[in-house]
Amino acid sequence: MANSMWDFCTNALDTAKLRGASYGDVRAMHLRQRDLTTKNGQVGTLAQSESIGIGVRVLANGAWGFASTDRLTREGVAACAAQAVSIAKASALAKRSNVVMAPEKAYVDSWQSPFRKDPLEIPLETQLALLLAADAEMCKVKGITLTETNMQFRKIDSWFASSIGSRIHQRKVISGCGIGATSFQGGEIQKRSYPNSFGGQHALEGYELVESLELMKHAPVIAGEAAALHAAAQCPEKFGTLILAGNQLGLQIHESIGHPIELDRVLGQEANFAGTSFLTLDQLNKLKYASSIVNVVADARLDHGQGLGTFAYDDEGVPAQCTDIIKDGKFRGYLSNRETAHLVGLDRSSGTMRTESWNRLPIIRMTNVSLLPGTWDYDDLIADTPDGILMDTNRSWSIDDRRYQFQFSTEIGWEIKGGKKVRMLKNPSYSGITTEFWNSCDAICKFDDWTLWGTPNCGKGQPMQTMGTGHGAAPARFRNVRIGTAFSK
């Protein structure tokens, strides 16, 4: 397949140039996916899909055009490239200024994400047996009214070629797995999920991810908690000390740091849909985003871990990089691309252009936006907290369109008194203003408790694209946080 894909790429670039494009890049992609779910002891979804096609992005008359097709013939690809140029020329009818791109070298490379077990080669029978067994464990727990499990595997091949001479092939293998138990009782629905809500954990790994999760050990635990939540005390409404489990902190990072640093949002390119950002250009290197113990990076390199934001090159042909976002509490960097880098004084893109598939335009995306580990042992953190609430596993999330005011609720909370977890709390929630919240952080756990969480469902762009992002986080403590607002009357 590789030879024909490179031929299509060359064909598209040649056609685009002939039609008047001053720059062109092409992504030919082959995506394969397997989805398995169970519900109440029965198989729910069992499906496999593949999608193959080509997307052509060009600059003509100083403006962008993009066209995509799954008609992979010489004629089909040439027509697609010609159409991209035609669209670019139409864009120029209402352009604001000519697009200027930061320089980048040409790369010829091939890269494959590391994995030990190809999930699409693991017998389906094995995968289903594990899910059904975990499902059965949860069903056994009294009071559970709905059990759900899922696995998702993806293998993505992409062939990138550009008119500056890059030829980059990448293969990514992605796995995801999770389980959940729901209990309806007395006019109340409670749910617990493992290892995270909304599909569990997802990473740039093979089937070894699933095996590492120990589903059978955790299934009865979360089912028991879901049933027990009905009798738990309601999370109080107050200002107090909050400890966030790593899975919830990952989403907090995503929403209140990851999105506001996207330079396309900052520059108003997402104003109509995803929104803008409070991080206006004058804030760079000036804003005290967080307390001095907070360090956040956007790191797409394999050295950072096998997250959903890990790759060798972005979809604009720029090598993976690590960018300081928050250093010792100070705001230090944005996520940029070749078109926007110069607007923040950079001479090079930070390498964050990503596309969902061959039929979508690459846009600025989070890579792995992670809070670096701190110095605390988890047990010491709990012991050091005389009065607080620990919140675990997201239930709902919402933040305003400039990424200031947020509210999160989690599936379960634990009251901490005298340095010990003393009782379960139901319906926990907290809210705040982004910078005030991050400036209240006074403890972050060590690398031992640090996980590179995967958020597989980040929606952005028009037409909408769903992208996976990574967020490394260890449990952390925040002071004087508003707690319980979601259920205030």
Touching other proteins, residues 53-72 (CB under 8 A): 53, 63-71
Single residue of 46, 100, 281, 383 touching other proteins by CB under 8 A: 46
Q: Could you say whether residue 50 binds other proteins (CB under 8 A)?
A: yes
Closest by CA position to 466, among listed 276, 319, 274: 274
Residues 145-174 that bind other proteins (CB under 8 A): 145-146, 148
Closest by CA position to 409, among listed 336, 475, 485, 353: 485
Residues 112-141 that bind other proteins (CB under 8 A): 123-125, 128, 132
In one-letter notation, the amino acid at residue 165 is G
Cβ distance to other proteins smaller for residue 295 or 337: 337
Give the sign of the dihedral formed by CA 438, CA 407, CA 175, CA 354: negative
3 state SS of 235: coil
Q: Could you say whether residue 15 binds other proteins (CB under 8 A)?
A: no
Residues 193-232 that bind other proteins (CB under 8 A): none
Single residue of 4, 18, 48, 216 touching other proteins by CB under 8 A: 48
> Residue 406 CB, nearest distance to other proteins (Å)?
9
Tokens of 145: 């009214």
Tell me the H-state helices in 141-254. 208-212, 215-228, 246-253
Whole-angstrom distance, CA of residue 361 vs CA of residue 139: 44
Residues 94-113 that bind other proteins (CB under 8 A): 94-97
Whole-angstrom distance, CA of residue 447 vs CA of residue 388: 23
Cβ distance to other proteins smaller for residue 252 or 385: 252
Q: Could you say whether residue 433 binds other proteins (CB under 8 A)?
A: yes
> Residue 405 CB, nearest distance to other proteins (Å)?
4
In one-letter notation, the amino acid at residue 414 is W
Size of the site for other proteins (CB under 8 A): 89
Angle between helix 2-18 and 74-91 (nearest 10)? 40
Q: Could you say whether residue 233 binds other proteins (CB under 8 A)?
A: no
Contact 489, 379 (CB under 8 A): no
Q: Is 418 exposed, middle or buried (0-12, 13-18, 19+ CB in 10 A)?
A: exposed
Cβ distance to other proteins smaller for residue 28 or 445: 28
Q: Could you say whether residue 387 binds other proteins (CB under 8 A)?
A: no
Closest by CA position to 478, among listed 445, 446, 447, 437: 437
Single residue of 179, 181, 210, 267 touching other proteins by CB under 8 A: 267
Single residue of 167, 288, 342, 402 touching other proteins by CB under 8 A: 402
In one-letter notation, the amino acid at residue 154 is R
Single residue of 143, 224, 236, 275 touching other proteins by CB under 8 A: 275
Give the interface segment with other proteins, choosing from 160-168, 239-247, 273-281, 313-321 (CB under 8 A). Answer: 273-281
Cβ distance to other proteins smaller for residue 124 or 422: 124
Q: Could you say whether residue 410 binds other proteins (CB under 8 A)?
A: no
Instruction: State residue 291 phi and psi, 5-degree precision.
Output: -65, 165
Residues 336-375, mask of contacts with other proteins (x by CB under 8 A): -----------------------xxx-x------------
The region, left, alpha or beta by phi > 0 then psi within -120 to 50, assigned to residue 246 is: alpha
Bridge-partner residues for 364, per DSSP? Answer: 353
Q: In residues, how long is the chain?
A: 489
Tokens of 283: 């804030």
Give the interface segment with other proteins, choosing from 39-47, 296-304, 309-317, 382-390 (CB under 8 A). Answer: 39-47
For the CA atoms of 218, 219, 221, 226, the dihedral, rounded to the nearest 10 degrees, stands at: 130
Q: Could you say whether residue 427 binds other proteins (CB under 8 A)?
A: yes
Angle between helix 215-228 and 124-139 (nearest 10)? 30
Cβ distance to other proteins smaller for residue 36 or 382: 36
Single residue of 121, 187, 303, 418 touching other proteins by CB under 8 A: 187
Contact 353, 314 (CB under 8 A): yes
Alpha carbon distances (Å) from 478 to 291, 388, 397: 10, 10, 18
Q: Could you say whether residue 391 binds other proteins (CB under 8 A)?
A: no
Give the interface segment with other proteins, choosing from 157-165, 170-178, 182-190, 412-420 (CB under 8 A). Answer: 182-190
Q: Could you say whether residue 277 binds other proteins (CB under 8 A)?
A: no
Q: Could you say whether residue 281 binds other proteins (CB under 8 A)?
A: no
Per-residue burial over 7-27, b if 16 or more Cβ lie within 10 Å, else e, is ebbebbbebbbebebebbbbb
Single residue of 188, 214, 328, 387 touching other proteins by CB under 8 A: 188
Single residue of 231, 233, 273, 292 touching other proteins by CB under 8 A: 273
3 state SS of 118: coil
Give the interface segment with other proteins, choosing from 15-23, 330-338, 369-377, 423-431 (CB under 8 A). Answer: 423-431
Q: Could you say whether residue 88 binds other proteins (CB under 8 A)?
A: yes
Q: Could you say whether residue 399 binds other proteins (CB under 8 A)?
A: yes
Whole-angstrom distance, CA of residue 365 vs CA of residue 57: 17
Single residue of 143, 208, 404, 479 touching other proteins by CB under 8 A: 404
Q: Could you say whether residue 429 binds other proteins (CB under 8 A)?
A: yes
Give the interface segment with other proteins, choosing from 16-24, 44-52, 210-218, 380-388 (CB under 8 A). Answer: 44-52
